[in-house]
């Protein structure tokens, strides 16, 4: 069965979501142009073609739009097709989906949850290949001590920072007097 995809505007730019059957089989954050975003999601979803989204995809898009507008939506209701992803990445994605909007964890935290802190680099690799950004909130996973490390989506760490700012996430250690400042000005 061939996958389909659609583009949709968000506060971050034009995002994409793909589906096959009754499951989401990919999502994509904005690239430089909507055409590039479409090209990337089509490739990610195995040659997906543009299509008219069914109700379950429209519900997913609506929830993503609310999340990216500041509503702390839980996107775990979105049924993702994890077939062919591999056992370790699927476990990483499952743990990542449990991170609530506005909260963060570290690669090391997830590695410990998987049984060994030495898995931290594997967690990073799995999240760098995340086929479901936003739905699997890899942007909520930080480096040790809350450091903003690499982010494979278009815009890199700036996109990650913007998403965390929208969610009003705390980055780093204990709250301070200046926590209401935008994340971009915090040091």
Q: Mark residue 84 as left, alpha or beta (left: phi above 0; alpha: psi -120 to 50; beta: remaining).
A: left
Whether the CB-CB separation of 161 and 37 falls below 8 Å is answered with: no
Long-range interactions of 111-120: CB distance < 8 A, separation 24+? 114/88
- Cα 184 → chain centroid: 20
Known catalytic membership, residue 138: yes
Which among 15, 25, 80, 138 is annotated as catalytic? 138
Distance of CA 172 to the CA centre of its chain: 20
Q: What number of CA atoms fall less than 13 Å from residue 74's CA on the CB side?
A: 6
Question: Catalytic positions, please?
Answer: 138
């Amino acid at each position: 069965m061939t996958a389909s995809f659609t583009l949709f505007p968000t506060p971050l730019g034009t995002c994409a979501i793909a589906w096959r059957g009754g499951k989401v089989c990919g999502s994509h954050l904005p690239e430089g142009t909507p055409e590039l975003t479409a090209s990337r999601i089509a490739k990610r979803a195995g040659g997906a073609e543009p299509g008219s989204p069914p109700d379950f995809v429209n519900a997913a898009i609506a929830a993503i739009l609310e999340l990216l507008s500041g509503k702390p939506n839980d996107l775990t209701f979105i049924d993702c097709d994890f077939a062919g992803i591999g056992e370790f990445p699927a476990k990483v994605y499952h743990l990542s989906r449990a991170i609530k909007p506005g909260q963060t964890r570290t690669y090391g935290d997830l590695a410990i949850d998987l049984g060994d802190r030495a898995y931290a680099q594997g967690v990073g690799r799995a999240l760098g290949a995340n086929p479901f950004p936003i739905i699997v909130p890899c942007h909520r996973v930080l480096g040790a001590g809350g450091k903003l490390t690499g982010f494979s989506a278009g815009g890199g760490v700036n996109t990650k920072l913007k998403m965390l700012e929208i969610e009003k996430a705390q980055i780093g250690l204990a709250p301070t007097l200046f926590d209401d400042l935008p994340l971009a000005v915090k040091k």
